Structure 1
Amino acid sequence: MVQGNEILRRTLDRKDALLICEGNALQTDFLLLHAGGETRQVWRPVMRHLLEAGFTSTAYDQRGHGESTGSTGDGIEAFGRDTAAMIQTHRPALVVGASLGAYAALLALHGMRAKQEVRGLVLVDVVPAPNRCKVRRFLAAQAPQLSQSPLVDDILNRARQMTDAARSLTLPITLVRAGPSGPVTDDEVEKFQASCPQVQLRRVHDAGHLIARDAPQALAKVLTGFAHDLGISRKG
């Protein structure tokens, strides 16, 4: 049974950061990873809709965000190691990553034993090898504080590594794409699906890049649908 409406705050102690999370179960159905510049609070409406559908979830402040310590200057590899530790702690059936969270999830799942326990991966409006110039223009317009971030540089410089990480995965992947204002292009989606045939596309047409913020109910519906497709049953 789902443990109820109570949201519990927990910590995950890393040697160079203390990570803060909240969720309604330690062993969770969904691990939710926010985008750069966001916090775990962006997931709260999604978590509520998931709980109403009978699924548990846990959302973290990633290092250097929200209440978590550590620095974004530690690089995307550190985020990937953090995510691997989250997976080992919470043993989620599904990992959901938005932007930064998606790249951290790809690195975490690439080559780790825990990926055998993860049933599926959801990438929210992000592909492994985005167009660098378009990403820069998008961030300059939508999130100027991130446009010159060293972390963004680190991620963009790892397009080949991210692509290889995605190709290494055999688990089902859902790409949730935003509406026309999002940064992901049709060509990028086609290339992603060509390199990873298991990728299925879902659209949330009325949302911008931050789908969890713009359309939490629609995103939760996609997530629960993916869970049902994989035979992950509701707990309630």
Structure 2
Amino acid sequence: MRIESGHPNGLHTERIATGDGLTLAATVSGEHGRPAVILLHGGGQTRHSWRGTVRTLGALGYHALAFDARGHGDSDWSARSDYSYDRLADDLLTVASTMAPSPLVIGASMGGMTAFHAVGRNQASFARAMVLVDIAPRIDPEGLKRVSDFLNGYRDGFANIEEAADAVAAYNPHRPRPRDPRGLMKNLRLRDDGRLHWHWDPSFFRERSDERREKHAQSLLDMCSNITIPALLVRGAQSDVVTTKGIDELRARLPQLEVGTVPGAGHMIAGDRNEAFNGAIMPFIERHAPLPRISP
């Protein structure tokens, strides 16, 4: 099911029903039937982190869609805290079924893992190509801990938006702190306690043991034998999450993998350097999801 509203600046909002009765909020540009691109945000982010990329792709002639993962942003929370990667992959397949066949999928961090699961668990792929943004099956444990500490911190929320902006600035010290933090309200919700809390369901981010993380990493590597579509990994040069060792291990299992690096960007590449990120992915998109030629 698809419910559509509003068309500001070439973008509009849709809500898409999942197989288990939740609805997902999506920002969309372009026309149905055009080559499709689906964008998946990272953990703790929202679809708005892709806003510039969605607008750019739509203006070029693609049908681009970025959606809030369940438990994030304006999408529903699961009453059963059903947030496994298999469930997230099911949601991706549901979204893909509303668009033209064989979309190109772009996933950042958690979104990349979701795309990996959706493609890798089936020998017959639903996507024509995928872009993984600063993610690999095995990542740096210290970088992972820093991400986890941020996502699982601030359980009591914030007294005001300035406190939230301070928290983000501490997590991303290389990114200039905005003079006006009001844009951060997309990522916050005012709850009954009168305090601002992050938009995500607190039960989404559960600590994993080292054993479970290793089992998950091995599972992803085993899935590589099912992944035959073109793939691109974009890494932030200042990322503390993806390592050269992790990339080499993935390339050994996924020989078609291309790798690009965005200078001056950390783990949140699209937020750190959006134009440079778009420049890194567009040649890949144009090769593997070409737009139909218009006859003169």
The aligned counterpart of 1:98 is 108
Count of aligned pairs between the two proteins: 231
Contact 1:122 1:173 in 2 (8 A): yes
- Equivalent position of 2:277 in the other structure: 219
**1:7 aligns with one of 7, 11, 14:** 11
- Provide Cα deviations, 1:69-122, integer angstroms capped at 9, x if missing partner: 023932222111111111222245310000111111111123447725x22100
Paired position in structure 1 for 2:65: 58
Which position in structure 1 is the counterpart of 2:45? 38
Match of 1:139 in 2: 147
Provide the residue aligned with 1:228 in structure 2. 286
Q: Classify 1:155/1:103 alpha carbon distance in 2 versus 1 (closer, same or farther; 3 Å).
A: farther
Change in Cα spacing, 1:140 to 1:231, as seen in structure 2 (3 Å) is closer
Asked if 1:182 corresponds to 2:237, the answer is: no
Q: 1:231 to 1:19 in 2, by over 3 A?
A: closer
Q: Kindly tell me: are residues 114 and 195 of structure 1, through their superposed partners in 2, closer, same or farther at Cα, counting changes over 3 Å? A: closer
User: Any gaps of 5 or more consecutive residues in structure 2?
Assistant: 1-6, 154-201
Q: Specify every segment of 5 or more residues in structure 1 that has no aligned partner in the other structure, as ranges.
A: none
Equivalent position to 1:130, from 126, 139, 153 = 139
Paired residue type of 2:15:
T
Residue 84 (str. 1) matches residue 93 (str. 2): yes
Q: Which residue of 1 aligns with 2:118?
A: 108
Is contact 2:143-2:240 (8 Å) kept?
no
Are the equivalent residues in 1 in contact too, given 2:89–2:117 (CA < 8 A)? yes
CA distance in 2, matches of 1:141, 1:45: 28
> Residue type matched to 1:198 in 2?
Q
Larger mean Cα displacement after TM superposition, 47-56 or 11-20: 47-56
Of structures 1 and 2, the larger Rg is shown by 2
Instruction: For 2:230 and 2:249, locate their aligned partners in 1 and report how far apart those are by CA, in whole Å.
Output: 17
TM-score, scaled relative to structure 1: 0.85
Deviations 1:160-196 (A, max 9, x none): 2212223310000000000123311111111111111
Q: Which digits, 9 at most, give the CA deviation of each residue in 1:189-234, with x for residues without a partner?
A: 1111111101000110111111111111122222221022226126
Q: Which range moves more in the overlay, 153-162 or 10-19? A: 153-162
Inter-CA distance 104–156: structure 2 relative to 1 (3 Å threshold):
farther
Aligned to 1:42, what secondary structure does the other structure show?
Answer: helix
Which one has the bigger helix percentage? 1
Counterpart of 1:134 in 2: which secondary structure?
helix
Matching of residue 21 in structure 1 with residue 26 in structure 2: yes
Q: Does 2:266 match 1:208? A: yes
- SS of 1:63's equivalent in the other structure is coil
Q: Tell me the alpha carbon deviations over residues 13-67 of structure 1, each in whole angstroms, 9 at most, x when there is no partner.
A: 1224211111023445210000000110111112223234443310001100011
Q: Distance in 1 between the 2:271 and 2:16 partners?
A: 25
1:192 to 1:112, Cα distance in 2 relative to 1, 3 A: closer
Partner of 2:88, secondary structure, is helix
Q: Give identity over the alignment, percent.
A: 27
* Alpha-carbon distance in 1 for matches of 2:59, 2:208: 35
Q: TM-score, normalised by structure 2?
A: 0.69
- Name the CA distance, whole Å, in 1 between partners of 2:273 and 2:56: 11
Quote the RMSD (CA, aligned, Å): 2.8
Structure with the larger RCO, 1 or 2 (CA within 8 Å, 6+ apart) = 1
Taking the aligned partners of 2:271 and 2:133, their CA distance within structure 1 comes to 12
Which residue of 1 is the match for residue 223 of structure 2?
Answer: 165
